[in-house]
Amino acid sequence: QNAANNGLDIVKGDLQRTRDPSLNQLSLRAYCDLKYYDAINLAFLNVFGGGDGHFTINFAANGVYTWSGSQATGDIASFVTIGQDIAYCQSLGVKMIMSLAGDKISNYSFAKGDGARYAKLWHNAFLGGPDASVRPFGDVVLDGIELDIEKTAQEADPTATSNTWIEEMVTLVKDLKTLKSNLILAVVPQCSLTFPGYIGKDKNVGDVIAQIPELFDYIIVQYYNNIECTYPYGFNYNAWTSLFPGYIYIGLPGDWSSAISGGFLEPNSLQAVHDYLQDYNQFGGYSVYDISSSNAPGRAWNAVNFANPPVSQYSQTIYNMINGQKVGSGMPALGPAQLENEFAFRCGGTWVHANATCTNKVCNPMAAVTGCGTSEQCFRFLSKTC
């Protein structure tokens, strides 16, 4: 995606900031040349489902590709070029992973039979299968598939009586592994384990992880836009080690504009989390969303410097830290997890700006009318007073 130039106004929380073409993503090849990354998730294939085999890959400024089920349309030449960059990155040892789904407003779903249907289709499209009729990137073969499902069947369709997607996701993963045994498979749960009705698991993919943990090479737990489990309060990595036996990566935003609901770790907090994780042999590393907001020409937006932010160097900061350099002083030890009734709920355009200005407009996130303005959201805060 292209978070560096997403147009987000960090004060208002809307998409009215003037987009600057100079902030657009660089080529995939340019990011691989930085030599920071072991793998890059290609995000997102964010439209699919419904039983007819259609899908869309949206790479923002780098193009959109749509397969209708019988015909390809969109920026076909751009995707062939991206395929050449994918091959170049792989020559440098960077694994290339297709990321499925993404945020909950994207139009994806799982109809009955979609698990087997898409496993066969995507094996052919991305993984070197025998049918070459749909090949967005040409003949290049990707290294893996990542499930980033951020909504349930009931959220997509209020008439659904259960999360019928689970069975289809399990079938998708099983069939992909059968079709290509050396395929890298990953899944991205949200960090929260306290959602009503889903206590102790991620509400979107928790049951998938529980049913077939042995098929996933790793999971990336998203520790942003989930303030209830973000450092320093409620950071629950230890709990996740009992839910998944393999490598667990920490999913972080590239800057505050990539985490409208909070969770970006400034260097001191980042160092504290890294120091804490050194005791865990399941700790795999970090995944940053996204590559454009964590590198130049992306900008390091925050609540103070939004008028003239510096160039982002967050990926370099994480890379240096992983390789032994102290990037911050660290922070106090983790605090206890907070219960829902211990949070305050206040309006704001983005969490970071609302926190910096300490807005006191009380809201109710569960109400049909939260009490916030048109471009505001109802955010959680630890302090009930300013």
pLDDT at 3: 46
pLDDT at 191: 96
pLDDT at 370: 84
- Percent of the chain predicted with pLDDT > 70: 90
pLDDT at 161: 78
pLDDT at 92: 98
- Is residue 213 classed as helix, strand or coil in its secondary structure? helix
What's the Rg (C-alpha) of the chain?
Answer: 20
pLDDT at position 22 over 70: no
Provide mean pLDDT across the span 14-39.
81
The pLDDT tens digits for 163-202 are 889 999 999 999 999 999 999 999 999 999 998 889 999 9
With a CB cutoff of 8 Å and minimum separation 6, the contacts of 383 are: 344
pLDDT at 377: 83
pLDDT at position 328 over 60: yes
The pLDDT tens digits for 240-275 are 999 999 999 999 999 988 888 889 999 999 999 999
Provide mean pLDDT across the span 115-133.
97
pLDDT category, 368, cuts 50, 70, 90?
confident
On whether the CB atoms of residues 302 and 12 are closer than 8 A, the answer is no
| Distance, C-alpha 366 to centroid of its chain | 24
On whether the CB atoms of residues 4 and 24 are closer than 8 A, the answer is yes
The pLDDT tens digits for 104-114 are 999 999 999 99
pLDDT at 383: 63
pLDDT at 2: 46
pLDDT at position 158 over 90: no
pLDDT at position 283 over 80: yes
Please state, in angstroms and rounded to a whole number, the distance separating the CA atoms of residues 27 and 276: 35
With a CB cutoff of 8 Å and minimum separation 6, the contacts of 375 are: 9, 12, 13, 14, 349
With a CB cutoff of 8 Å and minimum separation 6, the contacts of 332 are: 232, 272
pLDDT at 361: 81
Provide mean pLDDT across the span 232-246.
94
Identify the burial level of 15 via C-beta atoms within 10 angstroms of its C-beta, where 0-12 means exposed, 13-18 middle and 19 or more buried: exposed
On whether the CB atoms of residues 331 and 273 are closer than 8 A, the answer is no
Please state, in angstroms and rounded to a whole number, the distance separating the CA atoms of residues 61 and 288: 19
The sign one gets for the Cα dihedral 329, 265, 44, 100 is positive
- Is residue 21 classed as helix, strand or coil in its secondary structure? helix
Instruction: Indicate the pTM of the whole model.
Output: 0.90
pLDDT at position 1 over 50: no
pLDDT at 338: 65
Q: CB-side exposure of 369: number of CA atoms within 13 Å?
A: 2
Please state, in angstroms and rounded to a whole number, the distance separating the CA atoms of residues 341 and 164: 31
Least confident of 17-26, 187-196, 208-217, 325-334: 17-26
Structure tokens at 252: 């972080």
Please state, in angstroms and rounded to a whole number, the distance separating the CA atoms of residues 222 and 191: 5
pLDDT at position 89 over 90: yes
Provide mean pLDDT across the span 264-292.
95
Provide mean pLDDT across the span 44-67.
96
Least confident of 57-61, 220-224, 343-347: 343-347
Q: CB-side exposure of 222: number of CA atoms within 13 Å?
A: 28
User: What DSSP state is assigned to residue 365?
Assistant: T
Give the DSSP letter string of 230-287. STTBS--HHHHHTT-SSEEEEEEESSGGG-TTS----HHHHHHHHHHHTT-TTEEEEE
- Percent of the chain predicted with pLDDT > 90: 67
pLDDT at 332: 66
145 strand-pairing partners: 98, 185
- Is residue 45 classed as helix, strand or coil in its secondary structure? strand
pLDDT at 4: 45
Pairing, β 95-102 against β 39-48: parallel
Provide mean pLDDT across the span 34-62.
96
The sign one gets for the Cα dihedral 235, 236, 241, 243 is negative
Who wins on pLDDT, 79 or 337?
79
User: What DSSP state is assigned to residue 57?
Assistant: E
pLDDT category, 5, cuts 50, 70, 90?
very low
56 strand-pairing partners: 47, 66
